[in-house]
Amino acid sequence: MNAVHLMTVHQAKGLEFGLVIVPHLVEGRFPSSRRSEGLTLPNDLLKEELPPAELHMAEERRLAYVALTRAREEVVCTLAGRYEGVKDWRPSRFLQPIRGDEGRELAARQLLTPPVGGLVEVARQVELPLNDAPPIAALSYTQVDTYLRCPQMYQYRFVFRLPTRPRPQMQFGRILHEALKDSLGSIERDRPLTWEMVNAAYVAAWARERFCAPEQAPSLQDLGRSYLRRAFDAGDLSKPLLLEQPFSLRVDGLRLSGRIDRVDRHADGMYEVIDYKTGSTRRATELQRDLQLGVYALAAREVFRFEPLTLSYYYLETSERVTVDKPSERLEEDRQTIVRVADGIRAELFPAKPDRMKCSGCDFKLLCPSAAV
Ligand code: SF4
């Protein structure tokens, strides 16, 4: 049915239309000069600290991204030099990259007759400007990993702070981590862990999560329960030394933050850093150059002084524990990798690294001019 939908940008989130008209693209209206609650992200997801004035602009930029990427075919941006009153309005900074393309602007003018004193512009792809990128003082492992996968993806996610979609697999992993944390955390010396305690923690973790794919929830609930039951029956759910331990590590003047799922202390004095995985099992030889384990090893040695130390991934699907050796030369390579990433971010080098598989799962493929899809 042909129809015009009139809605706010917030209401348009997650929707798509053939043609989208974004009005009022003037400084003071979009972006607005007023600070509001608007579209917020949890602080935990915002790893880079922005000064307060930047926060509002980053929020407006996210809204502009949402508005300008709702269209399957065309976006029409409109603005006027005068609205009510006598104020002269200046074009929005979000139009800057669109207006830079003269060819598109001319095409737009042929298609549409702009109102007197107004402007009409059409864009198919939009790059949002970011002036004065904040300095980088701290990074998380997720940020380093994202930059290594694709610096352009890093820029969209952590510099422009554009929102990403929730994914069932990620939520499933988070629920299992929560259930393990709560059930292992409830073990007391005189109160050993029972299956009922694990199951209750698992049910509570599901109840807290707003799952993005309700149709998949029942089968994933059963699957996760079978993972936990197998780990419980194998005797792998014993009281740990540390659970969900945050760390902050200095690497070349940079703070690298993260969280270790679990640390065990064995009878022979050995410390074991354990990270739970919900994906397929990888062999120890494949994990020799795994950066995440390198980061854990650096944190365990330099922050917590855990010696002797082993590093393991615990694969919940198979209850398999894969232990990896990280000799000091490998750790040095990992440290250099982190330094290289930080240098790239500081120099604002965000080249795209397109790859068909990576791009097909990328949240920014509709926006990214280099997407290989
Ligand atoms: S679409 Fe591909 S090239 Fe573009 S940001 Fe995503 S992963 Fe990188």
CA of 96 to the centre of ligand 1 (A): 22
Residue 159, ligand 1, Cβ within 6 A? no
Residue 358, ligand 1, Cβ within 6 A? yes
Choose among 61, 258, 262, 56: nearest CA to 162: 61
CA of 344 to the centre of ligand 1 (A): 17
- How far is residue 68 CA from its own chain's centroid? 20
Residue 153, ligand 1, Cβ within 6 A? yes
What is the tens place of the pLDDT at every residue in 81-96?
Answer: 766 655 677 888 887 7
What is the tens place of the pLDDT at every residue in 45-76?
Answer: 544 444 556 677 777 888 888 888 888 777 88
CB neighbours of 92 closer than 8 A, spacing ≥ 6? Answer: 25, 26, 27, 29, 30, 31, 64, 79
Considering the four listed CATH numbers 2.60.40.1260, 1.10.3720.10, 3.30.160.800, 3.40.50.300, the one that applies to the domain covering 9-134 is 3.30.160.800
pLDDT under 50: residue ranges of the chain: 36-40, 46-50, 102-115, 119-133
Threshold 0.75, pTM exceeds: no
Q: Delimit the domains of the chain by residue range.
A: 9-134, 168-226
Residue 162, ligand 1, Cβ within 6 A? no
What is the tens place of the pLDDT at every residue in 146-159?
Answer: 999 999 999 999 98
